Amino acid sequence: MNEFLSALPKAELHLHIEGTLEPELMFILAERNRIHLPYASPDLLKSAYDFHNLEQFLDLYYQGTSVLQTANDFYDLAMAYFARCDVEHILHYEVFFDPQAHIRRGISMDIIMDGLTGAQQDAWHHYGASSGLIMSILRDLPVDDALETLKLAKPWQHEIIGIGLDSAEKGNPPGKFRTAFEIADEYGWHRVAHAGEEGPAEYIWEALNELKIRRIDHGVRCVEDPKLVDYLVKHQVPLTVCPLSNVRLGVFPDIAQSNFKQLLDLGLCVTVNSDDPAYFGGYLTQNMLAIQDAFELTQPQWIQLTHNSIDASFAPAERKQALKQRLLSTEVEFQQRASA
């Protein structure tokens, strides 16, 4: 099964590019940009990843972004993740980025976008991997800040596929960003939002009804509301679940006590993702292996989960078909091995 999961052609839909900043690269970029880090080595930095909730994690996360100064830095960050995706057979990825975290440090939108789009182009050329950029709004900053960031993003509106909503969920309901999401709709962007991780099931309803989102990031607390579960199943609204992230941030004490299998058994459109893997200890395949260790899913269940990720993506129809064909080829290969 481990070989099967490693070989599966995959899509990842919930990945924060700043959350892939490994300590080794952080030190390289800090030296390049003459930025002092309060740690003597990458190992000591990694040992400081002792957080127990989202707020503690975000403090460390934003500290790490300080090393991202130039377009080349953003390019190197993205390409490091894209290269890892090639090894893990991740053929399509939709990547969140947080421009507000950089603009407030004096980094322009042009620098961010030049680096990320350059990496996207090279990932397609070198790895044959398709991708999309989703601009996330930091929900713990004022609404006016989000609206100003959308203005700065307008010249890049055709290079960005969606708008998201992330950062500290408690006390920051989705509805207050309705205007921002309406502007993003005018840009032609897809709508997604983090909801139902820290925040209650009501935040999922609010994101659906007020922000008109098409995909829920996390969403694990939907089970608190049976009517919500019925709605999500009926309309097959995707959930981008991040198992290792949920454990590291204290949503669940361990994978075995998570509600991942429950979500799957209820008929929800569940997908597996890695969130901020440099901080949470596992990229996509590692998340899949952790789920397998805890719940012993079957190969057909993993095929369904992978289909879910492809169907829930914002890739063009022809790209989805190509990904499904790769998935089918892998499935047939392993069936032939099993019968040999």
CA 38/CA 44 separation, integer angstroms: 10
Measured at the CA of 71, the angle between CA 70 and CA 76, to 5 degrees, comes to: 100
pLDDT at 57 over 90: no
Count how many domains the chain has: 1
Percent of the chain with pLDDT over 70: 100
**Confidence band for 37, pLDDT divided at 50, 70 and 90:** confident
Given a contact cutoff of 8 angstroms between Cβ atoms, the answer to whether 221 and 268 are in contact is no
Q: Residue 134 is part of which domain span?
A: 2-339
Q: What is the CATH number of the domain that holds 201?
A: 3.20.20.140
Residues in binding site:
14, 16, 194, 275-276
The per-residue pLDDT for range 145-164, each reduced to its tens digit, is 999 999 999 999 999 999 99
pLDDT at 63 over 90: no
CA 9 centroid distance within chain: 17
CA 304 centroid distance within chain: 19
pLDDT at 55 over 80: no
Token reading at 171: 């006390």
**Mean pLDDT of the chain, nearest integer:** 95
Residues in binding site for Zn(2+):
14, 16, 194, 275
Q: What integer is the mean pLDDT of 201-214?
A: 97
Q: Which of 105, 18, 14 is closest to 61 using CA atoms?
A: 18
Q: What integer is the mean pLDDT of 176-186?
A: 98
The per-residue pLDDT for range 105-129, each reduced to its tens digit, is 999 999 999 999 999 999 999 999 9
Q: What is the CA radius of gyration of the chain?
A: 19
The per-residue pLDDT for range 81-108, each reduced to its tens digit, is 999 999 999 999 999 999 999 999 999 9
331 or 182, which is more confident?
182
Active site residues: 197
**Confidence band for 289, pLDDT divided at 50, 70 and 90:** very high
Q: What pLDDT was estimated at residue 323?
A: 97
Q: Side-chain half-sphere of 189: how many Cα atoms within 13 Å?
A: 31
Q: What integer is the mean pLDDT of 250-259?
A: 96
Q: Which of 316, 326, 141, 308 is closest to 241 using CA atoms?
A: 308
Q: Side-chain half-sphere of 334: how many Cα atoms within 13 Å?
A: 19
The per-residue pLDDT for range 220-239, each reduced to its tens digit, is 999 999 999 999 999 999 99
Q: What pLDDT was estimated at residue 39?
A: 82
122 or 62, which is more confident?
122
Q: What integer is the mean pLDDT of 2-9?
A: 95
Residues in binding site for substrate:
276
Q: What pLDDT was estimated at residue 317?
A: 98
Q: What pLDDT was estimated at residue 44?
A: 84
Q: Which residues contact 327 (CB under 8 A, 6 or more apart)?
A: 8, 9, 303, 306, 307, 310
Q: Which of 148, 151, 150 is closest to 164 using CA atoms?
A: 150
Q: What pLDDT was estimated at residue 128?
A: 97
pLDDT at 50 over 80: no
CA 194/CA 165 separation, integer angstroms: 6
Q: What pLDDT was estimated at residue 38?
A: 83
